[in-house]
Structure 1
Amino acid sequence: MSTFPFNSATQSSAEARQYLADELVSKGVIKTAAIRKAFEAIPRERFVPFFYERDEAPKRREWTRYDAANTQDYMQIVYSDEALVTQVNERGWPSSSSSMPTVMALMLEALDIKPGQRVLEIGAGTGYNVAIMTMLTGDPRLVTSIEIDKGLAQQAQQALLGTVGLVNVVVGDGYRGYPEHAPYDRIIATASVPLIPPAWTQQLGPGGRLVTDLHGSLASGFLIMEKAQDGNISGHFQERPLHFMPLITEQLPQTSFDTVKNLLLEPRRELFPLANNSPFPDIFENHSYRWFLQWFLPDTHISRQIMGDVTYIYLYNPKHCTILRFQQLNGKWAGDVHGSYPLWQKIQDAYATWEVLKRPAPQHYRLEINAHNQTVLYVGTLSLLVNAPQKRA
């Protein structure tokens, strides 16, 4: 966490904002004067009147709420370059947060908002990012933010009204966008999606730009897309990945937490030892390989479990009802496959192809979506992901 060069309890919000803006400039994530000015103008504490921190004790999910009344370093924490959890669900997991300012700045620089442009944000959250964008458009009425949580939307609307004026914060499913104010010059999503929703591409105007976290089943990518006059959309990925909470929507399937347990009940079809020089399972820690694998073999997931002295790594594919289990005991790894799909062979094929392609990282891929919403992901001349045209929303 950043440390202020002064006693944050006695300093003004303006000084704290100046400090944060200077820090983001020094890190190289703020490059334009307009974005720096926006960070200097918007008080983050108006949008984060409280936050939660989790107990660091092992296996505990207890969260403590902090605010200005009970936290001496409240302003220091609010203006640190950190994501702050602002909502926790009934299962004890974070369900909303104020994004890390570095990530905000990177996305806003990529979005390149110009005065007078119409902007759609997917996921209002606290409203802090919305407020920054109103400074860039020059008119809060040009910004629309959609939030599925009614309580969060109301809190964001209230904070925005008292800070920048009337902004269009609407309650709804971000997957569907908000056609009432389309077309948009810019669309930004502060929640991750496994595929670009058709509504977003339809509501993006010609010459428009879209910035989002494209997150498959295994890894995340920082995607920037632009729409041509003919309706085709093309995009590329930044080197640095994004890490946002998944978009909450009924339009996308959810993976059950019982999937691993159920797939292990499938008949075991293969048992194999792993050689000492095998890249598996360590290669699963490599972000570039995980990024490739999730598109080469869609709907593949991974999880890790430690039981006593045994470490398990599960690679499973619900679509094909098959799970690959690696287990380590006394420093030796072995694996088995439950289910009829040749998952182990497919995983090895993915690794071999990735090697032939010279281990491409996400920034070496490009994504194309045509006017019929057919999506293709390319790395070199290899197409990895194709989704059939979908009905327009």
Structure 2
Amino acid sequence: MSDEEELRLQLSKRLSDSGHLRTRPWRQAVESVPRHNFLRGGFFERRDGNGPTAWTPVLPSDPTWLEQCYEDDSLVTQIAGTIVPGDLRGEIMRPPTSSSTMPSLVVRMLEDLQVSAGQRVMEIGTGTGYSTSLLCHRLGEDDLVTSIEVDAEVSGRAGTALAQCGFHPNLIVGDGLLGDPDGGPYDRVIATCGIVDLPKEWIYQTKPGGIILATLSGWMYSSELARLTVHDDGTASGSFLGGRISFMLARPQSPPPLGVLPDLDQGDERAASLGADILNDWDTRFVAQLGAPRAQRITLERDGHTEHVLVDVESGSWAALTSSAKRWTVRQGGPEPLWDSVEDHVTRWRNDGAPGLDRFQIRVNDKGQKVTWLAA
């Protein structure tokens, strides 16, 4: 047995022991598909320091490359929309834009998709193609798998790696939020990117009774995995599965540039019943996003104190919170009082016993999406 085959078996065992890999067909897929084949262009390794996060390339010539390919880690494969590991010598301090998702999350989602033999699957976000290859292996017929990627170069590299493994799914370069209008309907839809609003196109392209699995996020970057069933009336509903899952947001739903900040010394000021520190908790921040779904969160140092700011670029609404002597003060401006809405949502959620995100439900129809929770 080669070193690479042994590493595949070790990865399968770790994923099974952790409870993420639960059924034999997906275990066989993990044991058969070489993840390193989808990382031959290398990946970026994070370097933490006192300043901005830096990334350095790890290439196949590096002695640790192969073993790292089979660690249960997400591996960044593109920086700033265009830069790949082979382009760089040294460090880069720009944001990641594409990655190979950690295998435990990949297989957990594939298991949660509840796919069966003969079903047609649409994947949003091809990435390196590793999860696409697992789908192809599981379903046994390449024409049952369609994968959509917005970046032509990323899709091209994935296609090459898939072909080297003997897989030839339908690969589409385009906006995954639009789905595949000419190829549906599908039995299953799975998204490997975060979304703020679940596209109605996905519902229209899924058979009644079919399943959509997607990570609902927001611009405060708390997110959760949702599984929805599509109904005969063109709506979809479901629940959140728990686990604090996070993906890079789909590029068309990424937050707009902040631009010039409003004058934070203006606005209406009052004592805040809840402070900005509530946003440090994942579940609470998710609830806060429901109250201010288009708000971005930043922290500023001004006049010797820390200011926690929410800004809705599109509406012009904003809220700035400061703490003094264990008391919080909020100033708000624009057409909508953002922090009032956050406090209202979080207070109602706490009064209901602060149920976990696995007790949240989502419904999507022509009017949009609505997230609610069941009291604890």
- Corresponding position: 1:291 with 2:286: yes
Cα deviation, residue 314, structure 1: 1.0
Contact 2:38 2:158 in 1 (8 A): yes
- Counterpart CA distance in 2 for 1:67 and 1:95 is 18
1:55 lines up with 2:56 in the alignment: no
CA distance 1:307–1:54, change in 2 (3 Å): farther
Among 228, 238, 246, the alignment partner of 1:243 is 246
Distance 1:295 1:61, change over 3 A: closer
User: What residue number does 2:35 align with?
Assistant: 44
In the superposition, relative to structure 1, how do residues 356 and 138 fare at CA in structure 2: closer, same or farther (>3 Å)? same
Gaps of 5+ in 2: 82-92
* Alignment partner of 1:67 is 2:59: yes
Find 2:269's aligned residue among 265, 268, 271: 271
Inter-partner Cα distance in structure 2 for 1:344 and 1:167: 47
> How far apart are the structure 2 equivalents of 1:314 and 1:362?
25
Name the structure 2 match of 1:92.
94
* Counterpart in the other structure of 1:234: 237
1:243 Cα deviation (Å)?
0.8
Contact 2:121–2:186 (8 Å) recurs in 1: yes
SS where residue 57 of structure 1 aligns?
coil
Q: Which residue of 2 is the match for residue 223 of structure 1?
A: 226
Write the deviation string for residues 6-28 of structure 1: whole angstroms up to 9, x where unpaired.
Answer: xxxx9521110000010001101
Q: In structure 1, which of residues 308, 313, 326 is the aligned counterpart of residue 321 of structure 2? A: 326
Q: C-alpha distance in 2, partners of 1:343/1:230?
A: 34
Matched residue, 1:256:
257
The whole-number CA distance in structure 1 between the counterparts of 2:69 and 2:362 is 36
Give the distance between the partners of 1:339 and 1:178, measured in 2 at CA.
Answer: 39
Shift of 1:94: 0.5
1:274-314, Cα deviation, whole Å (9 max, x unpaired): 6xxx6412211122222222223332332224569633211
Instruction: Quote how far apart the aligned CAs of 1:168 are.
Output: 1.1
Q: Which moved more, 1:74-83 or 1:341-350?
A: 341-350
Paired residues for 1:299-310 under 5 Å: 299-306=294-301, 310=305
Q: Of residues 74, 78, 82 in structure 1, which corresponds to 2:69?
A: 78
1:378 aligns with 2:369: no
Q: Distance in 1 between matches of 2:51 and 2:303?
A: 15
One-letter amino acid of the structure 1 residue matched with residue 212 of structure 2: L
The more displaced of 93-102 and 298-307 is 298-307
Structure 1 residues 377, 141: CA separation in 2 closer, same or farther (over 3 Å shift)? same
**Pairing 1:127-146 to 2, within 5 Å after superposition:** 127-146=129-148
**SS of structure 2 residue aligned to 1:132:** helix
Q: Distance in 1 between matches of 2:283 and 2:207?
A: 32
Query: What aligned pairs does 1:27-38 form with structure 2 within 5 A after superposition?
Result: 27-38=18-29
* CA distance, structure 1, for counterparts of residue 336 and residue 350 of structure 2: 23
Give the conservation status (yes or no) of the 8 Å contact 1:131–1:164: no
Q: CA deviation at 1:108?
A: 0.5
Mark the runs of 5 or more structure 1 residues left unpaired by the alignment.
1-9, 382-393
Quickly say closer, same or farther: Cα 1:354–1:30, change in 2 above 3 A.
same
CA distance in structure 1 between the partners assigned to 2:308 and 2:265 by the alignment: 18
Q: Check conservation: 1:198, 1:373, Cα contact below 8 A.
A: no
In 2, distance between residues paired with 1:58 and 1:266? Answer: 28
Structure 2 partner of 1:386: none
Is the Cα contact below 8 Å between 1:322 and 1:338 reproduced in 2? yes
1:134-160 C-alpha deviation (Å, 9 max, x unpaired): 011111121111111110111000100
Query: Which string of whole-angstrom CA distances, capped at 9 and with x for unpartnered residues, describes residues 210-250 of structure 1?
Result: 1111112332110111123454422110111221111123x
Letter in 2 for 1:52: F
Residue 388 of structure 1 corresponds to none
Q: Deviation string for 1:33-54 (max 9, x for gaps)?
A: 1111100010001001110113
Change (3 A) 1:152 1:308: farther
C-alpha separation in 2, matches of 1:319 and 1:47: 39
> Residue type matched to 1:74 in 2?
W
Distance 1:307 1:25, change over 3 A: farther
Q: Of the candidates 156, 159, 180, which is equivalent to residue 158 of structure 2? A: 156
Give the CA deviation at 1:336.
2.7
RMSD between aligned residues: 2.4
Match of 2:275 among 269, 274, 280: 280
Please give the secondary structure, in 2, of the residue aligned with 1:21: helix
How many residues get paired?
362
Question: For 1:121-144, what per-residue CA distance to the aligned partner results, in whole angstroms no more than 9, with x for missing partners?
Answer: 111000000000001111112111
**TM-score normalised by the chain length of structure 2:** 0.88
1:305–1:102: structure 2 CA closer, same or farther, 3 Å change rule?
Answer: farther
